[in-house]
Structures are given as C-alpha cells and as structure tokens.
Structure 1
Amino acid sequence: MQRFAAEDAQSPPPSGGVVFTGSSSIRLWDTLAQDFPGVPVINRGFGGSELRDSTWYADRTIVPYAPRQILIYAGDNDLHSGRTPQQVRADFIAFVDRVRRDLPKAKIAYISTKPSPSRAQLLPAQREANALVQAEATRLGVDYIDIFTPMLDAGGQPNEALFIEDRLHMNAAGYDIWQRVIAPYVK
C-alpha cells in the first residue's frame, strides 16, 4: 500500500481509467499497459491477496482513482489458504457491494481463478468456486471472465507450458491467453 501511495504522489493516475486489482497474477502483469493500448490501465495487484483483502483495501487500491471499470483477480489464494468455495462467493458479493457503495456506476469484471500446476489439487474447489461466483456475477450484473478453461491442456489439467518454474505464476504465454480472453471485456 505504501508503494501505491508513493507512486500516486509521484505520478497520479488519471481518474476514469481501468483498475486491475487482486493477487500477484495482476501484480506481475508487467505488460498490462502494452496489452491494452489506448486504455488508461492502473495496476493495483498486491501479492498474496485474497478477495476479502481487495474489499478491505478498496479505499486505497480502487476508490481514489474513480475508475470506469474494475477487473479483479482473486480467489485462488483464498482456496489455497483453506477458504471454501462458498466463502469465496460470499467474499465476492462483499467486494461488489463495497465497490458499488462508492462507485455505483463503475463496471466490474471478475477474472476466474486460474488452474496452476502447483495447486492442481484445488481444481475441484476452483471449479465449484468459479461456478458459484459466475452465478452471483450474473445476478449482480458483473462480467465474469473465464480464464480457467483456456488454461487447461488437452487432458483437462493445468497447462504447464503457461507457467514459470514455481508452477504458480504465469509466463508470457499465460499472459497472452489472459490478454486475448480479457480484451473483449475491457471497456
């Protein structure tokens, strides 16, 4: 949070942009601005975060920028830390409620959890959480972006070729998929 405050003090992002927030998959997206040319993107990903962290820190990572759109990637760390798919759904609802309290006109898009090889044991929980969040997103008028499915290999397992050595974080090929899948949703 201190780094974001320092960056903002040095060069304040424009209001009305597009905030990408959530865990390290967002934080590590170094080509975000190049991947969405002409879109004023603001990267406010912070490593290890869970959905409820994005809700808690919304006053620092989202609201000050008065964005026209927020894209959030969270849920993966939640399941890894022992939260249930039902808790992820509840945390998603709380996030949407929190954002809409201060930014009622901002569009929100939820990026589904990704299938990481290092967390393959979580695939059933991820599928359940993604389905629960997708249903709530539809009910709440939030875009749901499925990046889970395009990141599976032909056998339905996480595609190892999309990840760096830690088998959790993505390489350029993984981010290429994200860019292609997410681009139609960026307003």
Structure 2
Amino acid sequence: MAALLAGCATGGGVPADLDPVSSPEWATDMARFAAEDAATPPPARPVVFTGSSSVRMWETLAADFPDVVVLNRGFGGSQVRDAVWYADEVALRYKPRQIVLYAGDNDIAEGRSAAQVLADTEAFVARIRHTQPGTPIALLGIKPSPSRANLLDVQRDANNALRAWAATQRNVAYIDVFTPMLDAEGVPREDLFIADRLHMNAAGYALWKDIIGPFLVR
C-alpha cells in the first residue's frame, strides 16, 4: 500500500515509514483542487492554508486577510499524514510564500497519540523542506472543541510537543489557538462553535483571524 501511495504522490521526500493515507476519499479532493486550478489559475506565491475541516470551512479566509494573498486548500476529515502524502497537491505546486497547517485534531479523535501527531508533523515539514527548503511554515495548535472535550489532555500534550519542537526549527512557527479558545475554567468555549460543537462559527474564525494574522508573511 505504501509503495502504491508513493507512486500516487507527485514528488519525492515522503518518508518510507509514513503510515498510509487515512482515507482513499482524499483523491477526490485532489481532483477537485486540480479542476479549480484549471478553471481559475491560482494566485502567484500565495500563503497556502491547508489541513482539515477547520481550514476547509473557513469561507471568509480571503476577506479576513485582505492584505495577504491566500489560498485555501483544506480537505475536511484529513490527518497530518494526509498532508504529507498530498503535499504537492495542496501546497508545493503553488510555490507558496508560506504554508499554514491545521491538522492533528482528527488524528487524536481516531486514537493517534501526541507522539504520532508530532512525528507526522515533522514528516510534513521535512517533505516541504525536501522541495522548497526556505518556505516558512506555521503550525496551528489543535483547537479544543466541546464535542471532543474528553481529548483535551492528549490535545494539550500534542500542542506542547509541537510548540517545543517548532522552537528548535528555523522558519517554523507554532501558533497557539488552543488557550484562547478555553474559558476561565479551562473548558472549550461553546460560543465559538456551531451546533455540532466541533466546527467553528463566525466568532471562532474571527478569533483565529486575530491570532494568526501577525504570523502571516506579507
């Protein structure tokens, strides 16, 4: 399976020990991105946002950062390893000035550990560095959502590991969206989420806009 997936990836640099993609459904998303690019050529050297549904559902992304050329390449339900396998399709082909990654949320929900999230994130950064060594990368911490409040401890461990590792890397920033999304009692803020208590509402994205904005490369 790994060999087959490696053949599907358009570039090199995928670690030999990387787990297979979490779902074959992502091929449909990649085809959709290719069709969108063919219909409307993407901007030159954008800041690419990629990762799972918190990125995919950010419909106001361009309006929230009017002074930054952004491109949304989120694919809902994905895990960190999926971003590694499809790094060409969701990021590298655009020769981005910066990549912003949000992933790890679904990984932990599916039983992966904080150590696995970190290892896969390291593989993602290595994959980018293999082809475009100087590209700045911003890693968004895993958000705390009411529907996954039982996973807060593992999410916190993963975020702490990501923060510590990013601090040792050049051109890798960790952005803490976890802490501001907790209330005074350390509970995920219900007011930031839609009815499913997992995905963010406009207030949640407004908070993210304010947190992430200072980190973006203009």
- TM-score over 0.5 for the pair: yes
Identity percentage of aligned residues: 60
Inter-partner Cα distance in structure 1 for 2:132 and 2:89: 13
CA contact (8 A) 1:22 1:45 kept: yes
Q: 1:21 aligns with which of 44, 50, 53?
A: 50
Alignment of 1:175-186 (within 5 A): 175-186=205-216
Equivalent residue, structure 2, for 1:120: 149
Alignment equivalent of 2:193, drawn from 163, 173, 177: 163
Contact 1:145 1:182 in 2 (8 A): yes
1:103 CA drift (Å): 1.2
Q: C-alpha root-mean-square deviation of aligned residues, in Å?
A: 0.7
Task: Give the Cα–Cα distance (whole angstroms) in 2 for the partners of residues 176 and 38 of structure 1.
Answer: 16
Q: How far apart, CA to CA, are the structure 2 residues paired with 1:104 and 1:29?
A: 28
**TM superposition outliers: structure 1 runs of 4+ over 6 Å:** none
Task: Give the aligned partner of residue 85 of structure 1.
Answer: 114
- Per-residue CA deviations over 1:125-163 (Å, capped at 9, x if unaligned) read 000000011111111221000000000011110000100
* Partner of residue 51 from structure 1, selected from 76, 80, 87: 80
- The corresponding residue for 1:7 is 36
- By how many angstroms is 1:15 displaced? 2.6
Superimposed CA distance per residue, residues 12-43 of structure 1 (whole angstroms, 9 cap, x where no aligned partner): 11231100000000000000000000211000
The unaligned stretches of length 5 or more in structure 2 are 1-29
How many residues in Structure 1 have an aligned counterpart in Structure 2? 187
The answer as to whether partners of 1:55 and 1:95 remain within 8 angstroms in 2 is yes
Aligned equivalents of 1:68, 1:59: Cα separation in 2: 15
